[in-house]
């Protein structure tokens, strides 16, 4: 078997309306299910157009356990490419700040410049741009470069 690409993510959320609004209105992801004008009940799906869906939200209710903090087994974060350069990343940072999203970090990974935010349920999301001119395909070791602080 060969994995060709990461197809999609499925997240459990407390309130699908709140989470759908975050992914649609704050991050600008295209909601495909239900229609964006329709109030989501139970589920919401999003796609950039690359495939049938890249994110599916499933509502589990307000009494669901929160994402645990600190060292644990499970997902740390998922990454979303938001542009082609630091200007695009600056615009993304301004948009999430304006929306009141929690920003938890910013890093220079040599191959990417990244900011880290939390969604309404505490799932961490990396918003990143690939650094122009860095050829990690020719030098895969660049992916393991030391992480440095990022000042935008």
pLDDT (tens digit, 9 = 90+) per residue, 73-111?
Answer: 999 999 999 999 999 999 999 999 999 999 999 999 999
The tokens describing 91, both together, are: 């615009």
Above pLDDT 90, what percent of the chain?
A: 89
CATH fold match for the domains 1-62 and 76-152? yes
Going from N- to C-terminal start, the domains of the chain cover: 1-62, 76-152
Please tell me the CATH code under which domain 1-62 is placed. 3.10.180.10
Q: Helices (H), strands (E): how many in the chain?
A: 2, 9
Report pLDDT for 129: 98
Report pLDDT for 38: 83
Using the predicted structure, report yes or no on whether residue 117 has a pLDDT greater than 80: yes
Using the predicted structure, report yes or no on whether residue 70 has a pLDDT greater than 90: no
Q: Does domain 76-152 have CATH number 3.30.450.20?
A: no
């Amino acid at each position: 078997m060969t994995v060709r690409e990461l197809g999609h993510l499925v997240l459990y959320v407390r309130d699908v309306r709140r989470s759908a609004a975050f992914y649609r209105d704050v991050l600008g992801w295209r909601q495909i299910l239900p229609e964006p004008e329709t109030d989501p009940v139970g589920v919401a799906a999003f796609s950039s157009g690359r495939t049938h869906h890249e994110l599916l939200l499933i509502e589990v209710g307000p009494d669901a356990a929160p994402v645990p903090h600190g060292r644990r087994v499970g997902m740390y974060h998922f990454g979303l490419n938001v542009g082609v350069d630091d200007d695009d990343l600056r615009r993304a940072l301004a948009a999430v700040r304006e929306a009141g999203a929690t920003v938890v970090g910013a890093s220079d990974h040599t191959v990417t410049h990244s900011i880290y935010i939390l969604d309404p349920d505490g799932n961490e999301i990396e918003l990143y741009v690939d650094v122009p001119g860095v050829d990690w395909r020719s030098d895969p070791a660049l992916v393991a470069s030391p992480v440095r602080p990022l000042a935008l």
